[in-house]
Structure 1
Amino acid sequence: MKRAGGAASPVFWAAIGVLGFWGLWELVALGVGNDAVLPGPRVVLWEFEHSAGGDRGLEFLGIEHSDYPVNLAWTVGTATAAWLIGSALGVPAGLAAARRQWLRDVTEPVLFVFGAVPVLVVAPLLLVWFGAGPLSKLVLVAFYCFVVVALVAQSAALNLPPATEEYAAALGLGPRARSRAVLLPSAFPAIVAVLRLALATGISLEASAELLGSRVGVGRLVAVRAQQGNVASVLALSITLGLVALALDTTIRVAVAPALRWRE
């Protein structure tokens, strides 16, 4: 039985980490002594409060939606939709490849090759083919999520000892029943881990693609602020996007915790 204080331990250490990072950031910023190069956390917080609701200067430059909530919703919403599509295709594809050698031989080299292609190489091509709208980013993030999730799901299924499935077969379970009762539960922890990683990285890829060309989104605001030399605003946008990604990751962990309780 766990002690009551143990539940507060992760929160305590998380607070220590945040405060330590804040203090170190303040010290380094004071050492630099130039907010235009490295603003401190208080300067970044002020910039967030000043610009989160919108900026007339950005609207003068032609940005229709300059407030943070709209751009965050666009970036995170597009990335999440692409993550759902890529993951929904990647999990069954990876599990199927693990159980069919010919399918694995066909798909594995292709997945590895395309998975190694940098996003900055693929993104301009998609912008040419699909335009600067959300479709090009959706395809990019969905394809990345599909590749990563499929490879990890395949690896997790292959790590299942053959004797386990053989024992289930000896008990009379057919292929589908073995997949539900043996294969999926054993691979589930690894699949959850890669889904969390794919979502966080997918949000980052979405914002990176928006840097290259987009009419709205966090990446669009970061690109404009960087051109203006507004480092505080760039940091405020980046940290806010990271906090939203952290909130989504926490939601996933809480949602799947009952299904992973057997590992404790």
Structure 2
Amino acid sequence: MANPFSKGWKYLMQSLDTTIEENADPKVQIQQATEAAKKQHREVTESAARIIGNRNQLEMTLNRLVKDQEKLQDNARAALQQADKAAAGGDTTAATEYTNTAEIFATQLVTVEQEIEDTKKMHAQATQAAEQAQQQQRQSEVRLKEQMGQIDQLRAQVDQAKMQESSNQALESMQGIQADDSVPTLDSVRAKIEARYATALGAQELTENSVRGRMAEIESSGRDMAASSRLEQIRAELAGGSTAAGTGEITAGESAGDTDQEDTQGR
């Protein structure tokens, strides 16, 4: 059965890592990735340098052994020559000593030659390893340049993303701005003014209609009065005509005077 404390601790650490990952600054993470890429390339370069250095050291060792080989060969050859010369001169003791010396040189020469063979093998392996290390170092350098280019692009994208986020926040804040309820809006003021103006126009229209109506009424009343007066005049004329016909004594002068008077009254 799993330990509840261990499970809880792992869950807490995983949750903490997730929270940190979600809230991490992209530029900080880019910088971390940059440092990691540079560190990896630096380690590859240092490892390649050590491998190449080992090859160079084996080359120096091989050169030294070759020189020792040549020297030992010369010494052994010289000792043999001295031994032969001493033996030819009858000096057996010196001949024996030179011969022993030549054998020592020969023993050393064999040891050096064995070291040369071993060193050559190691040098061949080191040379191959150095070539691989150089190739890996070049690949690492190319990869680092590509990563640096990608990192520059990511940084530019982060800047663009921040600018876009700022623009979005500004737009959201603008959309969230509400009018102050304590201050009348232009629409409400316009509606009130238009309502008052329309009401005033309506009142003016009613007033004009009323004045025209009264004027028409007065004109109509005047016409009615004139018609009534004219009608009374006609009645009076009719009444006067009837009286003159009854008497039948209208003189020329009276007729003319009456006619003038009637015309004057008619006018």
Q: TM-score, normalised by structure 1?
A: 0.20
Please tell me whether Structure 1 or Structure 2 has the larger radius of gyration of its CA atoms: 2
Considering Cα pairs closer than 8 Å and 6+ residues apart, tell me whether 1 or 2 has the greater RCO.
1
